[in-house]
Structure formats: C-alpha cells, structure tokens
C-alpha cells in the first residue's frame, strides 16, 4: 500500500518510513501540511499518518481539509504527543480514524496501520477477488473473464490486479509505476503506456464487460465500473421513445 507520513520530526519520519517499508508498503514523507495537501492534488495515498503540531498549520486542519476534499478515503491515523481525552475526541471528530500517542511503538504502529487498511480496502485482502465478470485468484496468479482464462505476463497481472483493487480512483503514473515496478524512477514512462494498451486489449475493457479504462492527460489512469443495468435499459428506453415519435 502507498502511505503518506506527515511530521516535522525528520528522525521520526525516517524511522516510520523504514518500518513501513519493511512491511512492503511504499512510504512518502512530508515535513509540513502544505506540501502534503499539494501532493494530494495529483497523487493518491491509501493511508495518511498525520502529526498534530506542524510548522505551517495544525494537523487537525490538514485532516479536515482532506475530508472535505476527498471524502472518507484515505483512512487517517493521528500521531501526537497530546493524549488527553479531549485531544482524542477532537482528532476523531475532525475526521481521523485512529489515534496514537508519542513516543510511538513501531509494533503497534504496524498493527494499527494494517487494521485501518484492512477496513478501508477489504477487497485487497482476499485470495479470490471477483469484479463483475472478472475473477482474480491471487494464490494462483490467474485472471478469468466470463470463466475463460486470460494469459498475462507477470507485470501485466500485477498491473491488472492493482487497477481493479483501486477501481474508481485516479492513479497517478508515479503511483502505478511504484506499485507494479517498485521504483518509479527506474521505469520508463512509455513502458507503462505500453502495458496499459495491452491490458485494454487482453482484458477487453469495454462497457459490455462492465469496466473501462481512461487515460487522464498529465496525471495517470482510472479504471471505472460501468452501470451495466443502465446500459441494458437504454436501448429499451430509446425504442419506446422512437415508438412514441412514430405514433405521434
């Protein structure tokens, strides 16, 4: 998962980053609220860790801004030296999902982040994942469409699974390259575009199959579920309208 950590304690930032990356997360660090809020304009994170006291604003203001802009996702874990009951109540009432007091215990931090991610993204935790006509088997690393196996290479499978797990979210090119290749700086941009083009064809990502993929210029890609019920109803409505016109 992709996690953003906001704290003006640079040593603590590095400690948290090292701990989370040891548990297979991608961790991005920010030392002030402004830089995180700017990043969120084009980047998506699966979890935010936010300190209370920051150089430019209060952490509670960051949390409330995120909630006003992005809704209930991503989950937010508040980390602070303040631990009075009223502080906990304020943090949670402003939009945080959980609260930890400093000094942090890294084992507890990992447990709490894992719990928050499991609740926020339950579809990412199972071995068999169904998305309409598409079925992933994470143990066998296979994908079926309408019960028929689709032959995918390693990177293609990883990219397809990541897209479906994040359906409806606009994913930046950096986010996608990090998640699938591990290091965005070492992956040519055209490689991502090539993989996307192949997936669109191999997975038959069309309205008829319930999912479409959109390239957002200058940002990245978004996989969207299609309302197939509305699509199936449309021809009937169109025929009814045509009949009314002819009878009139």
Q: pLDDT value at position 222?
A: 93
| 137 pLDDT higher than 80 | yes
SS3 at position 231: helix
pTM of the model: 0.72
Is pLDDT larger for residue 45 or for residue 229?
Answer: 45
More confident residue, 183 or 233: 183
Contacts of 95 (CB under 8 A, 6+ apart): 63, 64, 66, 67, 76
Does the pLDDT value for residue 242 go beyond 60? no
- Checking if the pLDDT of 116 tops 90, the result is yes
How many helices (H) and strands (E) are present in the chain, helices listed first?
9, 12
Distance CA 130, CA 94 (A): 34
How many whole angstroms separate alpha carbon 71 and alpha carbon 92? 14
Most confident by average pLDDT, 50-59, 169-178, 189-198: 50-59
pLDDT at position 126, please?
58
70-74, 88-92, 179-183, 243-247 — which one is most confidently predicted on average? 88-92
Mean pLDDT in residue range 87-116: 93
Six-digit token string for 78: 């508040």
Phi, psi dihedral angles at 188 (to 5 degrees) = -60, 145
Task: Give the mean model confidence (pLDDT) for residues 172-188.
Answer: 76
Q: For residue 44, is pLDDT > 50?
A: yes
* Top-confidence range, 41-45, 56-60, 140-144, 234-238: 56-60
- 72-96 pLDDT, tens digit each: 889 999 999 888 889 899 999 999 9
Residue 183 pLDDT: 66
Q: What is the pLDDT of residue 4?
A: 96
Tell me the C-alpha distance between 114 and 118, whole Å: 6
Average pLDDT over residues 161-187: 82
Query: Is the pLDDT confidence value at 237 over 90?
Result: no
Query: What percent of the chain has a predicted confidence (pLDDT) above 90?
Result: 58
The C-alpha atoms of residue 50 and residue 58 are separated, in whole angstroms, by 10
pLDDT at 142: 92
What domains can you pick out in the chain, each with its CATH number?
Answer: 2-123 (3.40.50.2300), 128-229 (1.10.10.10)
């Amino acid at each position: 998962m992709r996690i953003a950590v906001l704290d003006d304690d640079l040593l603590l930032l590095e400690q948290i980053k090292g701990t989370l990356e040891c548990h297979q997360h991608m961790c991005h660090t920010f030392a002030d609220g402004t830089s995180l809020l700017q990043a969120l304009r084009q980047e998506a994170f699966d979890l935010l860790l936010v300190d209370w006291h920051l150089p430019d604003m209060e952490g509670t203001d960051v949390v409330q801004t995120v909630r006003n802009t992005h809704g209930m996702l991503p989950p937010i874990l508040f980390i602070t030296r303040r631990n009075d009951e009223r502080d906990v109540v304020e943090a949670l009432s402003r939009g945080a999902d959980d609260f930890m007091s400093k000094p942090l215990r890294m084992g507890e931090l990992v447990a709490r982040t894992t719990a928050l991610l499991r609740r926020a993204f339950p579809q990412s935790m199972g071995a068999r994942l169904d998305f309409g006509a598409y079925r992933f088997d994470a143990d066998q690393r296979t994908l079926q469409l309408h019960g028929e196996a689709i032959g995918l290479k390693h990177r293609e499978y990883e990219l397809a699974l990541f897209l479906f797990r994040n359906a409806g979210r606009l994913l930046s090119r950096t986010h996608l390259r990090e998640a699938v290749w591990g290091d965005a700086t070492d992956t040519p941009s055209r490689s991502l575009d090539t993989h996307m083009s192949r997936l669109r064809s191999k997975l038959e990502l069309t309205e008829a199959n319930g999912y479409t993929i959109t390239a957002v210029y200058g940002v990245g890609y978004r996989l969207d579920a299609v309302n197939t019920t509305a699509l199936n109803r449309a021809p009937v409505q169109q025929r009814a309208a045509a009949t009314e016109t002819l009878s009139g």
